[in-house]
């Protein structure tokens, strides 16, 4: 399997990169597929990643978009980079587009009998034998990576595509999964055969970051009003400096993992769990990307060490990050005046007659949402966008177990947050009805791990969002507002803007989508 081979590749313990080491980047994004359903966000992903690479001080970039995405062009660029690169240099290869499967080329090579491949725009499954030169098979990628590793070149492959999987929740966007090829094809290249011999033990300096687990799809989700890939979006923000937690000009494997896991979950509303290779880093010194010194935050040193709000810590306000206090909303069946709407992009939807409130991704976010309740739901999602903007700089870690994309009535689960290194913590829930529910406050004390066990899914169903704010800022005023019986999302937003916007505060968000058991 493409995911199995590459996800299981072994990453050696990488020392800190030499300051003179060069980084090369191969960026690919395809929306337009003449013989397949086209995508909406892959080109935006590639353009965003390329721009972020440039901001990170990486100048050796080969970018291929839509009609320029051909196997020959990509292979030539890869070969050029491998020939020019020296030991300890890095090649970053990012791909946003369709993925698919086909019967294995080498009998017994794959556990499930299927090879995975990147489907480029020129491939037509109805003329598979004639156009198979426009696919890149997992075995071929293994051979390419082996070429780099033979010279001591490090590889970071970021694949924002899909090869298998399914989801429980309804979804209105596109997935980056093309239909499987059912007929057995001839090998499109010698590498497609030789690469089948390579196994995880053969790779020491290859890091692979995939958009989701093999059991999940890779959907295009709405981010800032536009269809995007959550992995590409998160990787671009990491490159801009948000992934460099300690400000040393390098993104370690641990830093990238912490940042990407949290923000992919936030932006995909828990539809995706990224997959790293290896699953457990071998050392804290593994470096995957070196940044320009100009991106380093001037006073930030480590999580939980910031002091005070404001831009002196190098963190931006939510508005500086693009957040607005407006929500794009399409309304049917009601003419009631609703405040804080009018934002741009793909809208939320409220069907007043049915009482259903939907996210831009098509998820059912709330049931029985009446005219009396809809303002609270709108205010909830305005607040949630504020929190996501803050989390894009300082994302915390939380978890639900067992892990599902949709929970049914009667399911029991545990919500947990590890100690974060901050002195204070506030935990609350933004309910699917728009209500704000205080769960826990720890003020001016040594923060310990938090656990809320044996939660049961009950009515009403929709989308709850459990939030943990960890900070060194005073939280007594926040706690007092949350404890008020009249607390609402709009009031809480005003308090958070005053108290923690642009501060060194960690924000963790756990979406919880629920539905009646069939």
Reported as a single tens digit per residue, the pLDDT across 225-266 is 999 999 999 999 999 999 998 889 999 999 999 999 999 999
The SS3 of residue 430 is strand
Note the pLDDT of residue 194. 80
DSSP 113: S
- Of 515, 452, 512, 438, the C-alpha closest to 482 is 438
For residue 302, count other CB atoms closer than 10 A to its CB: 11
Q: Which token pair is 108?
A: 């017994």
Exposed, middle or buried: residue 474 (CB in 10 Å: 0-12, 13-18, 19+)?
middle
Task: Give me the residues paired with residue 304 across strands.
Answer: none
The SS3 of residue 138 is helix
> What is the C-alpha to C-alpha distance for residues 253 and 390, in angstroms, rounded to an integer?
22
The answer to whether residues 276 and 3 touch, using CB atoms and an 8 Å cutoff, is no
Note the pLDDT of residue 20. 67
Task: Give the pLDDT of the chain (518 residues) as one tens digit per residue.
Answer: 333 333 333 333 334 444 468 999 999 999 999 999 999 999 999 999 999 999 999 999 999 999 999 999 999 999 999 999 999 999 999 999 999 999 888 876 766 678 899 999 999 999 999 999 999 999 999 999 999 999 999 999 999 999 776 778 877 889 999 999 988 888 888 887 887 777 655 678 899 999 988 777 899 999 999 999 999 999 999 999 999 988 899 999 999 999 999 999 999 999 999 998 766 676 778 889 988 744 544 434 444 444 344 455 789 999 999 999 999 999 999 999 999 999 899 999 999 999 999 999 999 999 999 999 999 999 999 999 999 999 999 999 999 999 999 999 999 999 999 999 999 999 999 999 999 999 999 987 767 899 999 999 999 999 999 999 999 999 999 999 999 999 999 999 999 999 999 999 999 999 999 999 99
Residues whose CB falls within 8 Å of the CB of residue 13, separated by 6 or more in sequence, listed in order: 282, 283, 285, 286
Note the pLDDT of residue 112. 61
Start-to-end Cα distance in the chain? 34
For the chain, the C-alpha Rg in angstroms (whole number) is 23
> What is the C-alpha to C-alpha distance for residues 409 and 485, in angstroms, rounded to an integer?
27
DSSP 248: S
* Dihedral-angle region of residue 174 (phi above 0 means left; psi in -120 to 50 means alpha; beta otherwise): beta
Note the pLDDT of residue 282. 62
Pick the CATH number of 391-515 from 1.10.3470, 2.30.29, 2.170.270, 2.20.130: 2.20.130
φ, ψ at 74 (rounded to 5°): -65, -45
Note the pLDDT of residue 111. 62
Q: What is the pLDDT of residues 363-385, one digit of tens each?
A: 999 999 999 999 999 999 999 99
Helix ranges, 211-319 (H): 230-237, 253-268
Pick the CATH number of 2-295 from 3.40.50.1460, 3.40.1410.10, 3.30.470.10, 3.40.190.10: 3.40.50.1460
Long-range contacts of 309-315, Cβ-Cβ distance < 8 Å, separation of 24 or more:
309/473, 309/499, 309/500, 309/501, 309/502, 309/503, 310/502, 310/503, 311/502, 313/502, 313/503, 313/504, 314/247, 315/393, 315/394, 315/502, 315/503, 315/504
Q: Do domains 2-295 and 391-515 have the same CATH topology?
A: no
> What is the C-alpha to C-alpha distance for residues 254 and 252, in angstroms, rounded to an integer?
5
For residue 486, count other CB atoms closer than 10 A to its CB: 6
Note the pLDDT of residue 237. 97
The SS3 of residue 293 is helix
For residue 516, count other CB atoms closer than 10 A to its CB: 12
Crossing angle, helix 230-237 and helix 42-55, to 10 degrees?
10
The answer to whether residues 297 and 311 touch, using CB atoms and an 8 Å cutoff, is no
> What is the C-alpha to C-alpha distance for residues 111 and 3, in angstroms, rounded to an integer?
11
Domain boundaries, the chain: 2-295, 391-515
Note the pLDDT of residue 106. 82
Note the pLDDT of residue 149. 94
Residues whose CB falls within 8 Å of the CB of residue 290, separated by 6 or more in sequence, listed in order: 17, 21, 23, 56, 57, 90, 249, 250, 251
For residue 385, count other CB atoms closer than 10 A to its CB: 20
Crossing angle, helix 138-150 and helix 71-84, to 10 degrees?
20
- Of 322, 337, 430, the C-alpha closest to 380 is 430
Q: Max alpha carbon distance in the chain (Å)?
A: 69
């Amino acid at each position: 399997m493409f995911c199995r081979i590459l996800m299981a590749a072994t990453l050696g313990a990488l020392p800190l990169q030499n300051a003179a080491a060069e980084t090369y980047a191969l960026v690919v994004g395809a929306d337009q597929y003449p013989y397949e359903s086209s995508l909406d966000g892959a080109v935006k992903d590639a353009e965003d990643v390329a721009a972020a690479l440039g901001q990170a001080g990486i100048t050796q970039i080969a970018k291929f978009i839509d009609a320029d995405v051909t196997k020959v062009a990509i292979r030539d660029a890869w070969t050029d980079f491998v020939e020019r690169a020296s030991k300890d240099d890095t090649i970053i290869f990012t791909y946003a587009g369709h993925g698919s499967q086909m019967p294995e080329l080498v009998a017994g090579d794959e556990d499930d009998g299927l090879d995975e491949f990147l489907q480029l725009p020129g491939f037509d499954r109805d003329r598979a034998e004639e156009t198979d030169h426009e696919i890149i098979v997992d075995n071929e990628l293994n051979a390419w990576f082996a070429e780099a590793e033979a010279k001591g070149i490090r590889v970071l492959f970021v694949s924002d595509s899909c090869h298998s999987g399914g989801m429980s929740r309804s979804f209105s966007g596109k997935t980056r999964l093309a239909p499987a090829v059912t007929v057995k094809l001839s090998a499109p290249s010698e590498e497609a055969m030789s690469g089948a011999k390579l196994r995880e033990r053969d790779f020491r300096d290859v890091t692979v970051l995939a958009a989701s687990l093999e059991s999940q799809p890779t959907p295009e989700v709405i981010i800032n009003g536009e269809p995007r890939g959550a992995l590409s979006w998160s990787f671009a923000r990491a490159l801009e400096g948000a992934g460099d937690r300690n400000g040393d000009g390098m993104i370690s494997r641990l830093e990238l993992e912490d940042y990407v896991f949290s923000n992919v979950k936030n932006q995909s509303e828990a539809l995706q769990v990224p997959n790293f290779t290896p699953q457990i880093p071998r050392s804290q010194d593994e470096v995957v990307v070196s940044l320009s010194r100009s991106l380093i935050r001037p006073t930030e040193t480590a999580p939980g060490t910031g002091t005070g709000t404001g831009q002196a810590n190098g963190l931006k306000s939510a508005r500086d990050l693009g957040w607005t206090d407006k929500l794009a909303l399409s309304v049917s069946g009601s003419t009631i005046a609703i405040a804080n709407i009018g934002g741009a992009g793909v809208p939320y939807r409220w069907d007043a007659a049915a009482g259903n409130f939907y996210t831009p991704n098509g998820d059912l976010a709330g049931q029985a949402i009446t005219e009396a309740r809809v303002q609270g739901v709108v205010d909830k999602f305005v607040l949630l966008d504020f929190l996501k903007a803050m989390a894009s700089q300082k994302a915390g870690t939380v978890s639900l177990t067992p892990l599902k994309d949709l929970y049914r009535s009667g399911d029991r689960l545990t919500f947990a947050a590890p100690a974060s290194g901050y002195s204070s913590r506030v935990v609350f829930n933004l309910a699917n009805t728009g209500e704000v529910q205080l769960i826990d406050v720890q003020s001016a004390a040594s923060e310990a791990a938090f656990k809320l066990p044996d939660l049961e899914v009950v009515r009403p169903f929709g989308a709850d969002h459990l939030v943990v704010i960890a900070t060194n800022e005073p939280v007594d005023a926040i706690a007092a507002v949350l404890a008020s019986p009249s607390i609402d999302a709009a009031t809480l937003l005003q308090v958070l803007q005053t108290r923690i916007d642009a501060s060194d505060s960690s924000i963790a968000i756990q979406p919880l989508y629920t539905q009646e058991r069939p």
